[in-house]
A and B are shown apart, each in its own frame.
Chain A
C-alpha cells in the first residue's frame, strides 16, 4: 500500500527520531514562553496549584516534627515513683539502686524532696509562698526509664512497685504516648485526605485551564488535523502546558511551605524553650521536596490529559 507516500519514505528512522526529539524540545520551549508571555495569568494558576499542594505539605511537615519530638525522649515509656513522706533519703537511695537492677529498667534517677522543692520554687514562680510552708510537702521521687514498651512487662513492674511499702504512687506516662500516637495517626490520615481532595481540585482547575486553551486554539487544531497531524502531535503542547503549570505550582508550594516554616519557627522555639526543650522546626527534606515537585508535575499533566482527552476528539476539521 502506498499509504505513507513519498514524503515519509524520504525520512529515515533516525531522522524521524531526531525530529521527534526536536519537536518535543520546540514544544516544551514554546509552551513555556507562552506561559511567561502572560506572567500575571500564569502566576495566578501557579499560585492556585501551589496553595493546593502547600496546605497538605505544611500539615505534613508539622506532623513530622511532632513525631520527631515524641521520639526524642525515646519511644519507650517512663515511670515516676512517688515515695511515702516518711521515707528517709538513705532508704530512698537504696530503693533507687535496687530498682535500677530490675529487668526492663534502663536507668533510674533519684530526685530528693529537697531538690524537687528547689526546682519547683525556681520554675513555678511560687517561691515566696513555698518558703512560708513549715515543711516540704513534696515526696522523694524516683524517675525510671524503661528499656521496653511491652505492655505486659510494664504492667508486671508496676504491680511489683505498688507492692513496695516505701512507694506511695506509681505513674506511667504510657497513656500519654499512646494518645500522641493515636493523634499522629489521625493527623496522617488528615494529611492524606486533605491532599487527595486538594489534589483532585488542582487536577480539575488544571483541566479547566487547558480546556479554555484548547477552545482558544480550535482553528490551529483543525488545521493540524487537516494536514495529517496525529492526536499525539496535537496533544503534545497541551501536555507540556500542564507540565509547566504543575512544576511552577510545585515551586510555589515549596516557597509557601518553607516561608510558613520560617514564619512559625521563631515563636515555636520560644514555646519550646519554656518547656526546656531545644526544639528546632525542620523544613522539607530533599526527598519530600522532590516528591512535592513530582506530585505537582503529575497533577498538571493529569489535568491536561483529562481535558485533552475529553475535548480533542470533539474538534475535527470541517
Chain B
C-alpha cells in the first residue's frame, strides 16, 4: 500500500527531516510509527498525502509513484486516503453530520448516498445520535471520533493518523486505537504515528521507529 524507497527530505535551510528511509506497508496491514517529536513522523506522513515532496528517493502509494503525480492529480490521490490529526480540525460552523459529509461532497456523491454513508460512519464510531450537534458541544474524545468518522466515510484504502490520541486520556486513547484496529480488520491499511509506547506494545502490531530522520528499528510483529 505504501512503499518508501531510499527517501530523503531536506527542508530549506538544510534541515534533513528524513534520510534514506525505506519501508513497506502491505495492503491491509496496520503499523505504528514511533519516535520523539521532531524525529520526522509528520514529515513522513506529509510525503504520503503529497503535502510535501521528496528531496530524494521514491514514494509509492497504492501503486502510484508519487514523484510522477502532477499537482493537478493530487486531489485524486488524497481522496483515497483518510487522515486523522491530533487536533481533529473540525469545522465549528457546521453540524457533526456536515463535518463528516465533507469528503463525500468533495468526491461528488449525491445527497442520498451522503446521508447513508455519513450515518454508517457515525454509528461505527458510536456517535449515531449526535449528527445534528455542533462539534463545539462534544467532548475531546467525541470530537476525535468525529474526525475518524470523517476520515473513513469515503471508504479509503489507507488510513493515516498523526498522534490521534495525543490529547486524550488513556481510556479514551485505547478506545480510539481500537477503532482503528476495527477498520484494519475489514481490510483498511492503517499507519498511526504516536509516542504512546505502552499503547503500541499492547496492540502488538509492527512498529517503525524514527530517530533523527532515520528508520532505525524495524521490529517484527510481537503477539501478546
Q: Contact check, A220 vs B91: say whether CB atoms are below 8 A apart.
A: yes
Q: Contact check, B103 vs A2: say whether CB atoms are below 8 A apart.
A: no
Q: Which of A72-80, A97-105, A225-233, A285-293 faces chain B?
A: A225-233
Q: Contact check, B63 vs A226: say whether CB atoms are below 8 A apart.
A: no
A interface size (C-beta, 8 A): 32
Q: Contact check, B108 vs A20: say whether CB atoms are below 8 A apart.
A: yes
Q: Which of B11-19, B69-77, B198-206 faces chain A?
A: B69-77
Closest to B80 in A: A5
Interface string of B68-111 (1 = CB under 8 A from A): 00000111111110010000010100000000001101111111
Interface presence of B173 (CB below 8 A): no
Contacts of B106 in A (CB 8 A): 224, 227-229, 233
Query: Do A4 and B76 form a contact, CB below 8 Å, given A224-B102, A228-B107?
Result: yes
Interface presence of B119 (CB below 8 A): no
Interface presence of B155 (CB below 8 A): yes
Interface presence of A33 (CB below 8 A): no
B interface size (C-beta, 8 A): 30
Measured between alpha carbons, how far is A70 from B51 in the docked complex, in Å?
67
Contacts of A316 in B (CB 8 A): 51
Closest to B94 in A: A220
Interface string of B126-165 (1 = CB under 8 A from A): 0000000000000000000000001000111100000000
Q: Which of A23, A219, A223, A228 contacts B79 (CB 8 A)?
A: A228
Interface presence of A1 (CB below 8 A): yes
How far is the CB of B9 from the nearest CB of chain A, in Å? 15
How far is the CB of B182 from the nearest CB of chain A, in Å? 19
Overall SS of chain A's interface:
helix
Q: Contact check, B108 vs A11: say whether CB atoms are below 8 A apart.
A: yes
Contacts of A2 in B (CB 8 A): 62-64
Interface presence of A309 (CB below 8 A): no
Query: Do A228 and B91 form a contact, CB below 8 Å, given A5-B156, A5-B157, A8-B79?
Result: no
Q: Contact check, A318 vs B51: say whether CB atoms are below 8 A apart.
A: yes
Q: Contact check, B51 vs A3: say whether CB atoms are below 8 A apart.
A: no
Q: Contact check, B110 vs A3: say whether CB atoms are below 8 A apart.
A: no
How far is the CB of A42 from the nearest CB of chain B, in Å? 17
Q: Contact check, A5 vs B51: say whether CB atoms are below 8 A apart.
A: no
Measured between alpha carbons, how far is A8 from B103 in the docked complex, in Å?
12
Q: Which of B51, B74, B75, B105 contacts A23 (CB 8 A)?
A: B105
Q: Contact check, A19 vs B79: say whether CB atoms are below 8 A apart.
A: no
Contacts of B75 in A (CB 8 A): 225, 228-230
Interface-central residue, B83, B108, B109, by most chain A CB under 10 Å:
B108
How far is the CB of A233 from the nearest CB of chain B, in Å? 6
Measured between alpha carbons, how far is A317 from B81 in the docked complex, in Å?
14
Query: Do A7 and B79 form a contact, CB below 8 Å, given A19-B109, A228-B107?
Result: yes
Q: Contact check, B62 vs A23: say whether CB atoms are below 8 A apart.
A: no
Contacts of B108 in A (CB 8 A): 11, 15-16, 19-20, 23
Interface presence of A18 (CB below 8 A): yes
Q: Contact check, B103 vs A228: say whether CB atoms are below 8 A apart.
A: yes
Interface presence of A280 (CB below 8 A): no
How far is the CB of A163 from the nearest CB of chain B, in Å? 83
Measured between alpha carbons, how far is A19 from B109 in the docked complex, in Å?
6
Q: Which of B91, B111, B157 contacts A223 (CB 8 A)?
A: B91
Measured between alpha carbons, how far is A224 from B111 in the docked complex, in Å?
18
Interface presence of A36 (CB below 8 A): no
- 26 examples of A-B residue contacts, CB within 8 angstroms: A1-B63, A1-B64, A2-B63, A3-B73, A3-B77, A5-B76, A5-B80, A8-B79, A8-B107, A11-B108, A11-B109, A15-B109, A16-B108, A19-B108, A19-B109, A23-B108, A219-B91, A226-B49, A226-B78, A227-B78, A227-B79, A227-B106, A228-B74, A228-B77, A229-B106, A230-B75
* Residues of B that sit less than 8 Å from A by CB: 49, 51, 62-64, 73-80, 83, 89, 91, 102-103, 105-111, 150, 154-157
Known: A222-B89, A229-B106. 13 other contacts (CB 8 A): A2-B63, A3-B64, A3-B77, A5-B76, A7-B107, A19-B108, A224-B102, A225-B78, A226-B78, A227-B150, A228-B78, A230-B75, A233-B106
